[in-house]
Chain A
Amino acid sequence: GENVEQHPSTLSVQEGDSAVIKCTYSDSASNYFPWYKQELGKRPQLIIDIRSNVGEKKDQRIAVTLNKTAKHFSLHITETQPEDSAVYFCASRDGGATNKLIFGTGTLLAVQP
């Protein structure tokens, strides 16, 4: 079935360093790839997304890249800050007639001050 693999499961970086989270999806018809940040006990928050007709998208310190051929997409956070600490989920939207999102297993990012 459709699935999304996400790595690493935990990531610890020093404040100011960069963080990279990688995902791989299985459904070649997937056309939309959002990233969510979830702080402990809170709702997942959409932080950036990318559509299949674009290879890269950037929003201030956050960027996402997509390689459709390899079915890979990645989240890049530069100049990390302690408030970036959270669980990050990647997702892909299935290629069918719904907007069902298939989520990865999450990455716990810890930014050490």
Chain B
Amino acid sequence: DAGVTQSPTHLIKTRGQQVTLRCSPISGHKSVSWYQQVLGQGPQFIFQYYEKEERGRGNFPDRFSARQFPNYSSELNVNALLLGDSALYLCASSKTGVGRNTEAFFGQGTRLTVV
């Protein structure tokens, strides 16, 4: 039984570039959320998608965007990368969008380094 999978695991980009991170949720889960975890801090909410629709957005600039596909996998895009975007990007999978059965299970993350 596969858990949440993210790719790539590590990534190095230069300032100004664009990056796409990918997430496959647990089979049967329809909601995907993205979090940014800066070293030494707790994860910060970026987006939630449920049934391919955006259900929530955190306090991040418009350079951050995401989408969810019909198979419930998701991509997070970040444009015009800044040094401060360096972080661990975590994807969380939940069965539903809100209410019960919304326990969130995290993937191993993508470590993004911007140089």
Contact = CB atoms under 8 A, between A and B. Distances in A.
Do they bind each other? yes
Interface stretch (B20-28, B39-47, B60-68, B75-83): B39-47
Nearest to B4: A43
Contacts of B90: 43-44
Contacts of B97: 98-99
B42 A99 contact: no
Contacts of B44: 103
Contacts of A13: none
A32 B102 contact: yes
Contacts of B103: 34, 46, 49
Interface residues of B, number: 28
Interface of B: 4, 31, 33, 35, 40-45, 48, 55-56, 58, 90, 92, 94, 96-98, 102-109
B46 to A, nearest CB: 10
5 pairs of A and B residues whose beta carbons are closest in the complex = A103-B42, A98-B56, A99-B102, A43-B106, A100-B45
Interface in A83-105: 89, 91, 93, 96-105
